[in-house]
């Protein structure tokens, strides 16, 4: 691949309401996942592994957590004299006051157009972050070049039973072309009971993408990039590339919880993290995790910098977590910097970053409705345990 022949746009404007309280202060893209990653790391790693060095990130709000995570982009080989990483804030139209929207009319897509024109790239891939996958973008590009349609999009073939009526899927023709992206309730599974779950990845020539954005500006569109891409699929029909690796879609708390639990299965863990394509993230210098004499850890992932005295079973423990003696963490996700008190039991729960849970408490959810404790909470009484 010629240097800089492909650029990438990561669109962080994604539905976040159903992931509250985890998404109160962060976009879906910086949601922690898998013991040491953020969702954004998966598309960024696919980009890095394909040698792409021109990347635009569209953040919904200020992008503070995004900038804090990606810094110069060095951890994804994006700190380069050629191209680099461009983070554009405030792209979430729903957060812009009606009277301010007039000023955006005919200009909402200007930043993206400028980025794409300056990239001098031939092709551009547009991705979101809520579909966790480890995709080979070079293979996607080859697939695109071998076919005639102007747009190529990506799907994973999944059992219809795993798809919610509100999830979006591709409508495929018999010869494997995508004619539209629709809600699952508006289509029918194949004879094998499969649906083509769309991965929200779109590849096209940079010139075509600039045309799409220019036309949207001229029309005075104020719709998200994602909707523009879906429209392009309907308008042009698209080549549909089938992705076959590890996949999880994060759209609400139960799906986030289920995806977290699924990587505790060893074959899933290896498929996602030990393929030929590494997953990169912000590097941190943590000390080793210490497992005390009383600790008992089974079937779990742990980050570094932790101090473990209690029992942990089938759980994802992030970095710098402190688990006191006589406690039990069962089927749960404990994020970075959280402390769990002596004798406390946590089951089917998602505990966000820097939470302090006092001693001798019980925090229990169910697999279908996990208990969630928001970032930075301090809980010292049983009455303070409420599902947010």
CB 289 to another protein: min, Å: 6
Question: What is the distance between the alpha carbons of residues 127 and 189, in angstroms, rounded to a whole number?
Answer: 25
Among residues 105, 33, 62, the alpha carbon closest in space to that of 261 is found at 33
The HSE-up count of residue 8 (CA atoms within 13 Å, CB side) is 29
CB 229 to another protein: min, Å: 30
Q: Which two tokens stand for residue 163?
A: 């798809």
CB 387 to another protein: min, Å: 27
CB 68 to another protein: min, Å: 16
Nearer to another protein, 79 or 92 (CB): 79
Contact indicator for 85, 78 with CB cutoff of 8 Å: yes
Nearer to another protein, 54 or 336 (CB): 336
Nearer to another protein, 34 or 63 (CB): 34
**Chain contacts with another protein (rule: CB under 8 A):** 34-36, 75, 266, 269, 273-274, 278-281, 283-285, 287-305, 307
The residues, any chain, with a CB within 8 Å of residue 62's CB and separated by 6 or more, are 89, 90
Q: Which two tokens stand for residue 32?
A: 């922690």
Question: What is the distance between the alpha carbons of residues 260 and 133, in angstroms, rounded to a whole number?
Answer: 13
Please spell the DSSP secondary structure of 21-64, one letter per residue. TTTSSS-GGG-EETTTEETTHHHHHHHHHTT--EEEEE-SS--H
Nearer to another protein, 31 or 203 (CB): 31
CB 307 to another protein: min, Å: 8
Nearer to another protein, 243 or 280 (CB): 280
CB 244 to another protein: min, Å: 21
Task: Give the strand pairing for 296-298 and 311-313.
Answer: parallel
Nearer to another protein, 178 or 302 (CB): 302
CB 178 to another protein: min, Å: 33
Q: Which two tokens stand for residue 50?
A: 């394909």
CB 312 to another protein: min, Å: 8
What are the start-end ranges of the H helices in 83-147?
A: 98-104, 110-119, 137-145
Nearer to another protein, 115 or 280 (CB): 280
Question: What is the distance between the alpha carbons of residues 299 and 219, in angstroms, rounded to a whole number?
Answer: 54
Question: What is the distance between the alpha carbons of residues 349 and 366, in angstroms, rounded to a whole number?
Answer: 8
Among residues 11, 230, 6, the alpha carbon closest in space to that of 109 is found at 11
Nearer to another protein, 13 or 85 (CB): 85
Nearer to another protein, 94 or 285 (CB): 285
The residues, any chain, with a CB within 8 Å of residue 340's CB and separated by 6 or more, are 310, 321, 322, 323, 324, 327, 329, 334, 346, 351, 357
CB 36 to another protein: min, Å: 5
CB 298 to another protein: min, Å: 5
Nearer to another protein, 152 or 289 (CB): 289
What 3-state DSSP class applies to 354? coil
Among residues 122, 147, 174, 135, the alpha carbon closest in space to that of 238 is found at 147
Residues constituting the chain = 388
């Amino acid at each position: 691949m010629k240097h800089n022949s492909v650029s990438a746009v990561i669109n962080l404007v994604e539905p976040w309401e159903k992931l509250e309280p985890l998404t109160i202060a962060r976009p879906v893209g910086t949601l922690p996942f898998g013991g040491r990653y953020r969702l954004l790391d998966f598309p960024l790693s696919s980009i890095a592994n394909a040698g792409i060095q021109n990347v635009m990130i569209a953040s919904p709000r200020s992008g503070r957590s995004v900038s804090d995570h990606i810094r110069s982009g060095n951890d994804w080989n994006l700190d380069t004299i050629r191209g680099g990483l461009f983070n554009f804030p405030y792209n979430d139209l729903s957060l812009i006051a009606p009277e301010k929207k007039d000023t955006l009319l005919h200009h909402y897509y200007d930043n993206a157009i400028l980025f794409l024109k300056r990239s001098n790239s031939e092709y551009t891939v547009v991705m979101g972050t809520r579909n966790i996958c480890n995709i080979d973008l070079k293979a996607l590009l080859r697939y695109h070049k071998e076919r005639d349609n102007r747009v190529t999009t990506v799907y994973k073939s999944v059992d219809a039973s795993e798809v919610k009526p509100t999830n979006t899927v591709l409508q495929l023709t018999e010869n494997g072309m995508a004619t539209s992206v629709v809600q699952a309730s508006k289509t029918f599974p194949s004879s094998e009971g499969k649906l083509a779950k769309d991965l929200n990845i779109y590849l096209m020539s940079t010139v075509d993408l600039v045309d799409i954005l220019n036309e949207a500006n001229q029309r005075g569109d104020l719709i998200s990039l994602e909707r523009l891409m879906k429209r392009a699929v309907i308008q042009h029909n698209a080549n549909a590339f089938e992705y076959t690796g590890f996949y999880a879609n994060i759209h609400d708390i139960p799906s986030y919880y289920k995806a977290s639990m699924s990587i505790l299965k060893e074959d899933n863990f290896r498929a996602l993290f030990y393929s030929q394509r590494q997953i990169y993230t912000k590097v941190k210098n943590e000390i080793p995790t210490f497992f005390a004499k009383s600790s008992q850890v089974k079937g779990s992932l742990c980050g570094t910098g932790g101090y473990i005295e209690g029992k942990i079973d089938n759980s994802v423990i992030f970095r710098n977590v402190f688990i006191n003696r006589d406690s039990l963490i069962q089927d749960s996700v404990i994020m970075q910097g959280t402390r769990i008190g002596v004798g406390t039991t946590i089951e089917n729960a998602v505990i966000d970053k820097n939470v302090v849970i006092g001693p001798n408490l019980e925090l229990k959810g169910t697999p279908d409705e996990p208990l969630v404790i928001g970032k930075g909470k301090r809980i010292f009484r049983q009455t303070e345990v409420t599902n947010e």
